[in-house]
Amino acid sequence: MRRFVALLSAGVLVASLAASSVSAASAGPKNSLVANFQAIDGQTQKVIGRVTVRLFEPSEQRLVPGSYDFYGAPGYPVRESHAQLGMVRFGYDPTAGNPNGWAGPNFGANVAYAEGVICDYREPNVPDCHPIYLWFVDVLDPAGRADYLDTNTRNPGGDPWDGTSWAVGKGSFVLSYTGD
pLDDT digits (tens), the chain, 180 positions: 444 444 444 444 334 434 333 333 344 468 999 999 999 987 888 999 999 999 999 889 888 899 999 999 999 999 999 999 999 999 998 887 776 665 566 788 899 999 899 999 999 999 999 888 888 888 887 766 677 877 766 554 555 556 677 888 899 989 999 986
119 within domain boundaries: yes
Please report whether residue 6 resides in a domain: no
Q: Is residue 71 part of a domain?
A: yes
Distance separating alpha carbons of residues 137 and 93, to the nearest angstrom: 9
pLDDT digits (tens, 9 = 90+) for 126-159: 999 988 888 888 888 776 667 787 776 655 455 5
Start-to-end CA distance of the chain, whole Å, equals 56
Q: Which domain holds residue 87?
A: 28-176
47-56 and 32-41 as β-strands: parallel, antiparallel, unpaired?
A: antiparallel
CB 8 within 8 A of CB 1: no
Q: Is residue 16 part of a domain?
A: no
Residue 94: the pLDDT is: 84
Question: Tell me, what's the pLDDT at 100?
Answer: 62
Specify the number of domains making up the chain: 1
| Vertex 34 angle, CA 30 and 36, to 5° | 165
136 found inside a domain: yes
Confidence (pLDDT) at 96:
78
Query: Is 19 within a domain?
Result: no
In a domain, 17, yes or no: no
R_g of the chain, CA atoms, integer Å: 22
pLDDT of residue 25: 36
Domain contains 13: no
